[in-house]
């Protein structure tokens, strides 16, 4: 990829440079915090595998938290080579993370079959919440494409309607960043690999100045695309990012802690290349090659910019009562140039399919939390929440066939405003029965939402819509009850009942923009067991769940020619059930095995024909057409196995190997591909088969630091698959005749050097 002009984010450079300048010598560190606060701010992991998490807004031992969740420490993230959100798919069961086909700088998140119908639309939300240090990230464009160096990652599976709120019917992912320590230190790493991969990451902690501690980091990533576009400036699949982060921690008194974080960055990508074997012979010279375009294609790059301000204030009203305030702003803008791999400027190759988009959104949130230990047996967490998002999305689509004299250019602009208010409370009571082994947790969240959107539409220069608007108001109460039994310190089981909901909205490309859809509601039953056996050498966790959905939001193609015309309705009921297993075996400090397994089965019970849809006519209004639909992104099976082995020690030097293999069953990528749909498999992805491997050499240096040299291979066996397949040539009613899809990235081999100081 060509170099990027990053002058507009020079403030990140200046902030990082200032950190390095003032850090020429160590100074007095902050006073040592007590063990309880350290557990709150740091990832505490013992030799037995304990890890402290804050999934329930307070510090708790992972194995004692009665919910289905996966937590990855900083060491586990590094050893498994997880540098972005896509890598989490191999670490957490039931989680699926893939690049959005229209733009590789946008991610589609699904968990337990719940996610977003189309993450490219600003008039709707997904079902998996993404959080950074407890702050909600409303849009996935440019969100955490490189994780940097987080302290830990917590993946919460299932509805999180009480503490995390709306749009978490599938679950939540919380990235917890490292906080300033007030002591001089840091690290720098450099990676180089296939297709000119360059990744550089630097972090530095400054010595405290009085009661102020500061930490800074900067990350640069650049890699050439893997689909060659001969004779053109850009290949398909290019990626580049430069981002910086400055975090400050201020403790003016023993009772008050203030954390402020500023992020800014820029991402530059080119789209993924779509391949359609059915076009061979239909288009002169076309070859469905997943690694090379069939001819030179005029391809531009897409650019995304983002900025974050996050402010967290903790005030200890007493030893047992803490008031917390979380304030945030996030803004992003993106220009996306999408070429579906068919465009040509010469009459020899006349088919043109291009799409250009522009996004700009701003989101604000304010949350107040009260965290209390009311008695030795009773704790309480409550809060008030406000969220506001304002956005704009411009979209231009150019469809043409030169030899037939056909060309269609459509332009649309959508403006959207969303506000949300919520109040929530959750309390856990250690019941004075059964030798104090029972814990009862009860919680609830009440939410009110407002949405408004408008659309302008121009078709071949003719204004067909001018300020068509829709507006909505809805409210929801989501309760939760959890009964847990701590049989021993190392064995715990629980039963959980909860509800959640995904906000309503409208479809940007719907034929009638005035028609909106309401919230989707989920009722969930979950039972789980968490164990550590054989003197805590074996950890085994199991979860079984059954979710039912009311007013399910169903998307389907509404135009057999233009598949970008998508309609969304609250049309019926569905359920999904499953089993999730996680285990680790640590027979010695030098050798460990880990694995996970998930089984999911979905069933759409009712899809009711509504007036004005493509099913109105062939079927009477009110008829059940559930067999024409399926829940997308629901892999029947998913599993991963991995190992970590320190196989050689020479003096204080260590050599270790880390391997992960993962598999995921094929999934359907559209709800409109049910059992009765002709050609439904044209919407069916290939199975995922992936192996990642890493070898580390660690050489200690003075002051307890180390130099680490690594060799890594991602997708070691070079397994290639269709990654987000799209059916072509029809609708759920008429069926599909072919498919087009991008393919996943081929094998990447490289090396990394990391220096701690």
Per-residue confidence (pLDDT) for residue 4, from 0 to 100: 44
Q: What b-and-e string marks burial along 364-393, b requiring 16 or more CB atoms within 10 Å of the CB?
A: bbebbbbbbeeeeeebbbbbebebbbbbeb
Closest CA to 477 of 496, 499, 497, 450: 499
Per-residue confidence (pLDDT) for residue 551, from 0 to 100: 92
Q: How far apart are CA 437 and CA 215, in angstroms?
A: 42
- Specify whether the CB–CB gap between 398 and 414 falls below 8 A: no
**pLDDT tens-digit readout, 650-704:** 999 999 999 999 999 999 998 989 999 999 999 999 999 999 999 999 999 998 8
**Number of domains the chain contains:** 1
Q: Is residue 469 part of a domain?
A: no
Q: Is residue 486 part of a domain?
A: yes
Per-residue confidence (pLDDT) for residue 145, from 0 to 100: 60
Q: Which domain holds residue 201?
A: 7-460+478-756
Q: Is residue 342 part of a domain?
A: yes
Helix/strand/coil for 347: coil
Contacts of 234 (CB under 8 A, 6+ apart): 1, 2, 225, 270, 299, 300, 301
CATH code, domain carrying 433? 2.40.170.20
Q: Is residue 690 part of a domain?
A: yes
Torsion sign over Cα 155, 712, 752, 720: negative
Strands lying side by side in the sheet with 69-73:
69-73, 152-157, 171-176, 128-132, 135-136
| HSE-up (13 A, CA, CB side) for residue 703 | 8
- Specify whether the CB–CB gap between 52 and 60 falls below 8 A: yes
Q: What are phi and psi of 437, to 5 degrees?
A: -90, -15
Q: Is residue 471 part of a domain?
A: no
Token pair of 319 as six digits: 């030893």
Q: Is residue 315 part of a domain?
A: yes
**pLDDT tens-digit readout, 117-155:** 678 889 999 899 999 999 999 887 766 567 778 899 999
pTM: 0.89
- Specify whether the CB–CB gap between 754 and 701 falls below 8 A: no
Q: What are phi and psi of 536, to 5 degrees?
A: 70, 25
Q: Give pLDDT < 50 ranges for the chain.
A: 2-48, 343-349
Q: How far apart are CA 469 and CA 153, in angstroms?
A: 40
Q: Is residue 203 part of a domain?
A: yes
Q: What are phi and psi of 41, to 5 degrees?
A: -95, -15
Per-residue confidence (pLDDT) for residue 401, from 0 to 100: 62
Per-residue confidence (pLDDT) for residue 214, from 0 to 100: 97
Q: Is residue 1 part of a domain?
A: no
């Amino acid at each position: 990829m060509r170099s990027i002009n990053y002058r507009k984010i020079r403030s990140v450079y200046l902030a990082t440079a200032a950190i390095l300048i003032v850090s020429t010598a160590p100074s007095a560190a902050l006073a040592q915090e007590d063990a309880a606060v350290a557990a709150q701010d740091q990832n505490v992991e013992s030799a037995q595998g304990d890890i402290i998490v804050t999934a329930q807004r307070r510090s708790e031992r992972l194995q004692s938290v009665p919910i289905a969740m996966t937590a990855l420490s900083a060491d586990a993230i590094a050893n498994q080579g997880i540098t972005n959100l896509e890598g989490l798919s191999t670490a957490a069961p039931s989680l699926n993370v893939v690049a959005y086909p229209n733009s590789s700088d946008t991610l589609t998140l699904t968990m337990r079959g719940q996610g977003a119908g189309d993450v490219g639309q600003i008039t709707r939300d997904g079902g998996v919440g993404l959080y950074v240090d407890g702050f909600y990230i409303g849009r996935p464009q440019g969100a955490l494409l490189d994780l940097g160096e987080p302290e830990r990652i917590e993946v919460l599976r299932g509805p999180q309607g009480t503490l995390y709120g709306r749009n978490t019917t599938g679950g939540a992912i919380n990235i917890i960043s490292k906080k300033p320590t007030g002591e001089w230190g840091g690290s720098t790493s450099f990676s180089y690999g296939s297709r000119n991969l360059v990744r550089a990451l630097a972090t530095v902690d400054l010595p405290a100045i009085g009661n102020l501690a500061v930490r800074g980091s900067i990350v640069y990533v650049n890699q050439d695309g893997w689909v060659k576009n001969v004779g053109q400036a850009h290949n398909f699949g290019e990626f580049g990012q430069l981002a910086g982060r400055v975090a400050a921690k201020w403790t003016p008194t023993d009772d008050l802690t203030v954390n402020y974080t500023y992020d800014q960055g820029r991402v530059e990508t080119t789209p993924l290349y779509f391949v359609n074997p059915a076009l061979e012979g239909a288009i002169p010279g076309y070859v469905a090659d997943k690694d090379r375009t069939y001819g030179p294609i005029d391809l531009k790059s897409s650019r995304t910019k983002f900025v974050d301000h996050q402010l967290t204030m903790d005030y200890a009203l007493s030893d047992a009562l803490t008031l917390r305030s979380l304030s945030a702003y996030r803004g992003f803008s993106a220009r996306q140039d999408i070429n579906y791999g068919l465009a040509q400027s010469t009459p020899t190759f006349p088919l043109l399919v291009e799409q250009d988009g522009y996004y700009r959104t701003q989101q604000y949130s304010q949350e107040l939390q009260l965290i209390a230990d009311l008695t030795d047996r009773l704790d309480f967490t409550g809060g008030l929440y406000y969220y506001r998002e304002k956005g704009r999305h411009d979209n231009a689509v150019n469809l043409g066939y030169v030899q037939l004299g056909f060309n269609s250019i459509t332009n649309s602009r959508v403006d959207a405003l969303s506000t949300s208010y919520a109040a929530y409370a959750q309390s856990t009571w250690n019941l004075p029965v059964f030798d104090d082994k029972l814990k009862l947790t009860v919680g609830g969240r009440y939410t009110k939402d407002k949405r408004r959107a408008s659309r302008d539409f121009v078709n071949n220069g003719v204004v067909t819509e001018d300020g068509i608007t829709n507006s909505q108001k809805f409210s929801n109460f989501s309760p939760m009850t959890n009964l847990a039994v701590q049989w021993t310190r190392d064995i715990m089981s629980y039963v959980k009942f909860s509800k959640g909901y995904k906000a309503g909205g409208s479809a940007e490309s719907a034929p009638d923009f005035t028609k909106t859809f309401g919230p989707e509601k989920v009722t969930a039953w979950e039972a789980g067991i968490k164990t550590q056996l054989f003197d805590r050498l074996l950890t085994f966790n199991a979860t079984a769940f059954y979710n039912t959905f009311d007013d399910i939001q169903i998307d389907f193609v509404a135009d057999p020619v233009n598949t970008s015309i998508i309609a969304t309705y609250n049309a019926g009921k569905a359920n999904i059930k499953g089993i999730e297993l996680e285990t680790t075996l640590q027979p010695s400090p030098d050798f460990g095995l880990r694995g996970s397994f998930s089984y999911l089965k979905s069933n759409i019970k009712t899809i009711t024909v509504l007036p004005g849809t493509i099913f109105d006519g062939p079927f009477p209004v009110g008829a059940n057409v559930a067999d024409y639909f399926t829940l997308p992104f629901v892999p029947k099976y998913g599993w991963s196995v991995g190992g970590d082995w320190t196989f050689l020690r020479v003096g204080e030097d260590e050599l270790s190997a880390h391997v992960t293999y993962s598999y995921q069953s094929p999934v359907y990528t559209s709800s409109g591909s049910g059992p009765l749909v002709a050609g439904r498999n044209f919407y069916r992805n290939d199975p995922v088969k992936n192996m990642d491997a890493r070898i580390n050499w660690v050489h200690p240096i003075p002051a307890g630091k180390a130099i680490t040299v690594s060799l890594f291979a991602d997708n070691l066996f070079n397994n290639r698959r269709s990654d987000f397949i799209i059916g072509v040539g029809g609708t759920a009613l008429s069926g599909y005749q072919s498919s087009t899809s991008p393919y996943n990235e081929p094998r990447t081999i490289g090396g990394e050097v990391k220096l701690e100081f």
